[in-house]
Amino acid sequence: MNFRSKVETLLEASLEEEKTLFLISLKIGSDNSIRIILDGDQGVTLKDCMNVSRAIEHNLDREEYDFSLEVASAGVGSPLLNSRQFIKNIGRKLQVDLEDTNPIEGTLTAADDQAFTLEWKQREPKPVGKGKVTVTKQKTLSYADINIAKVLVK
């Protein structure tokens, strides 16, 4: 078993123990530098990162492999990459960049494994007469339709 396979197996076993955590990214450099980004349904604590780090580090032989290991949580400003991240952020305000249109800012009202729904208020001309009226818009988007989505923090 090569180094990458060992790391992946140890990581999978560690995440099996803590089902609320999930993997966002795993990068292994040519110098055996390991960088793991995690997220969780209830967030990620320092203890969670330490537990995953220990589960990997204590099961790799430093005599056989010279490696560095970094385990971190997805930051507040990080893009949402996983449907579980969208589900956990229901009720929060998002900025979503689409392929052909301007970015949309709205509240995430629903999400599942295939798509998510945003709701926002917009000013539009009145159907009759002069002036504008505020209307509530809603749009359901597939994860494939977006370039990037981020939680807006105020």
Q: Does residue 11 sit within a domain?
A: yes
Q: Is the pLDDT of residue 149 over 90?
A: yes
Domain membership flag for residue 78: no
147: confidence class by pLDDT, cuts 50, 70, 90: very high
61, part of any domain: yes
Q: Could you tell me if residue 14 is inside a domain?
A: yes
Segment 92-122, tens digit of pLDDT: 999 999 887 889 999 999 999 999 999 999 9
The position carrying tokens 């818009």 is 137
Total domains, the chain: 2
pLDDT reported for residue 69: 95
> pTM here?
0.83
Q: What is the CATH number for 111? A: 2.30.30.100
Q: Which domain holds residue 15?
A: 3-73
Last residue of a domain, one of 73, 100, 128: 73
CATH number assigned to the domain comprising residue 63: 3.30.300.70
Q: In terms of domains, do 10 and 57 share one?
A: yes
Same-domain status, 134 and 107: yes
Domain end point (choices 36, 52, 73)? 73
pLDDT at 154 over 90: no
Query: What's the confidence (pLDDT) of residue 79?
Result: 93
**DSSP codes, 93-147:** EEEEEESSS--EEEEEEEE-SSEEEEEEEEEEE-SSSSSEEEEEEEEEEEGGGEE
